[in-house]
Amino acid sequence: MDALTVQASSDRTTGTGLAGKEVLVTGGTGSFGRKFTEIALREAGPGRLVIFSRDELKQHEMRIGGFDHPRLRYFIGDVRDASRLKRAMFGIDIVVHAAALKQVPACEYNPIEAVMTNVIGARNVIDAALDAGVEKVLALSSDKAVNPVNLYGATKLVAEKLFVQSNAYAGGTGTRFSCVRYGNVVASRGSVIPLFIQQRRNGFVTITDPRMTRFWLTLDQGVRFVIQCIDRMHGGEVFVPRIPSMKITDLAEAIAPDCKVEVIGIRPGEKLHELLVGEDEARNTVGIDDLFVVQPLHSWWSSDNWKGARSLQDGFRYSSDSNSHWLKIEELRDLVDDLVSSGE
């Protein structure tokens, strides 16, 4: 599958799962939330879209920045506040849980804060959704939840377990919980592309280790993948997209070809390579043309939910350094130029 195939796959019709639905997005003023709002309003036709976030300034900037739609609502609140979440979910059909503390060094330095937002916040979202009778909850996870080596990854692993097992708490109520798991989103706030673009003005870029590889996913692809998974979820799955890999040195060459590269060393809690499906959980994972589905090992899970999907070979692992699909420097340069020109 080449880069054009991946792009075409991610740009296909998103489906009708959001049409006419009351949708709430936690962390809705973040990079993902803004792109989700843009695409959902333009293509998916929700009846109401609620932006739930804790920063009034970001909500104001989002509204005056073009997100002032009659179907949009802005709700100030923090996922740490269970009562506020319950109020926000009144009448909601679908929740996309994107709120998180996600900067690895910040989580390492502020571990209790990371747990409060990423773990206790996940519990609050689950409890509020169950009490409100929400139909579907899809939570955003991370590659760092697989064999975690940092606190952020550990909190995301716990959050995944909470959302998957909450299908048992839901019982026959009809509320269903699933997760999507993918790697770093290119050009999102705090990612390496904005940093490289800023650094090249001074004639140098910094990388932590020249051996480093990463999966590639744009905001647009991530949002479309989430919307597709809302359509397809039964409750209990962890969805993983099939996406290309890149070398960090190739990305630096694509963005700043004439700049000096300074190697500064791996930061605390940072991995050389991303892992999206580990060997142990691969035994419970099935493959479909455009994604992997990690299935839960619980008594309430039906083996017929993904009947006909392909089992993975013994010892399979989906890692950024052993991926079969790599982006070349020219492809990276074209994609980065597209991102910059589109304002992402």
Please state the domain count of the chain: 1
Q: Are 176 and 133 in contact (CB under 8 A)?
A: no
The pLDDT of residue 217: 87
The pLDDT of residue 134: 98
pTM: 0.91
Tokens standing for 87? 């109020």
Tokens 């479309």 appear where? 224
Whether 144 is catalytic is yes
Name every residue whose Cβ is closer than 8 Å to that of residue 316 and which is 6 or more positions away in sequence.
277, 279, 282, 285
The pLDDT of residue 189: 63
Taking CA atoms, 201 is separated from 195, 215, 255, 259, in Å, by 11, 26, 11, 9
Name every residue whose Cβ is closer than 8 Å to that of residue 91 and which is 6 or more positions away in sequence.
22, 132
Domain extent, residue 181, equals: 3-205+214-243+278-319
- Report the alpha-carbon distance of residue 155 to residue 132 in Å, rounded: 25
Tokens standing for 40? 């959902």
DSSP 87-126: HHTTT-SEEEE------HHHHHHSHHHHHIIIIIHHHHHH
- From the candidates 35, 102, 144, 271, which is the catalytic residue? 144
Residues 90-127, buried b or exposed e (16+ Cβ, 10 A)? eebbbbbbbbbbbebeebbeeeeebbbbbbebbbbbbb
Nearest to 106 by CA among 118, 97, 96, 94: 118
Q: Are 324 and 215 in contact (CB under 8 A)?
A: no
Residues 284-306, buried b or exposed e (16+ Cβ, 10 A)? bbbbeebbbbbbbeeeebeeebb
The verdict on residue 165 lying in a domain is yes
Q: Are 152 and 142 in contact (CB under 8 A)?
A: yes
Q: Decide: residue 166, CB within 10 A, 0-12 exposed, 13-18 middle, 19+ buried.
A: buried
The verdict on residue 191 lying in a domain is yes
Q: What are phi and psi of 244, to 5 degrees?
A: -80, 165
- Report the alpha-carbon distance of residue 204 to residue 185 in Å, rounded: 23
The pLDDT of residue 11: 45
In the three-class reduction of DSSP (H, G, I as helix; E, B as strand; rest coil), residue 192 is classed as: helix
- Report the alpha-carbon distance of residue 114 to residue 109 in Å, rounded: 9
For the chain, 344 residues long, the average pLDDT of each consecutive 10-residue run is 36 68 97 95 95 97 94 97 97 97 91 98 98 98 94 97 96 93 75 85 92 91 95 97 94 91 87 94 93 94 90 94 93 79 57
Q: Domain of 44: which CATH number?
A: 3.40.50.720
Name every residue whose Cβ is closer than 8 Å to that of residue 260 and which is 6 or more positions away in sequence.
203, 204, 205
Q: Are 6 and 246 in contact (CB under 8 A)?
A: no
DSSP code for 269: T
The pLDDT of residue 136: 98
